[in-house]
Structure 1
Amino acid sequence: MTWEDLRLAIGEFLTSAGFAGLAALAAATIAYKGIVERGRIDKNLATEADDRARWWEALMWVWANREDLPSPVKVKVLRTLNSLSRNTTQSAMLEAAMDAIVKVKRKGGSRG
């Protein structure tokens, strides 16, 4: 087989229905993998957003009920929120809430 025969054979394959089918299969595989990955990313983002919303709701609940809740309940909720904090914003909000709750306790408590 000469180079010219090889070139013609490759050219014939590249213009055949077999090659078109192979290219379509490769494109479909790449698209499928992209769709699956996008679905995984979207699911993770939705879960993360849901976790943040529940974290925020719990902080708002303990804040709204800070004067009525028994100390052990406040401590447990705040410790749980601390362990679930995922970023500096959550940590800062939790720290500010804890400082304010401790001040309210000291102000209203017997320590003066």
Structure 2
Amino acid sequence: MDALSSRGALEVERVVEDDERCALFVLTGDIDETVAPRLLEQLMESARRSQVDLVIIDLIRVDYCGAAGVKCLEAAHRAAGRHGTELALTRPSQFVRRVLTISGLTHLLAE
């Protein structure tokens, strides 16, 4: 588990399936301007791995996603695509789902 902010705003648990074809990130807390750049680095690092075909971001425990968080998720999606990797968002809270809807990112939801 990695705490991206000194305030503890976001915790990231990265789980890799046994065959390492899938990287699962379970996020807890807030995705804001203090943590978005580091989160993007972690997501892009997984997407760049040649053996990873799918990056899944579980949002069930994300309480807040600001503009920086939206930009982070969108940039991670574009970067994954450039590396031939699919990126999918799962289980957003009601608030995060609303943010994704307003931002036009619902196409990233794996439902």
Shorter chain as normaliser: what TM range?
A: 0.3 to 0.5
Q: TM-score, with normalisation over the residues of structure 1?
A: 0.35
More helix by share: 1
1 or 2, which has the higher strand percentage? 2
Greater relative CO (CA pairs within 8 A, separation 6+) = 2
TM-score (norm 2): 0.36
> Greater CA radius of gyration, 1 or 2?
1
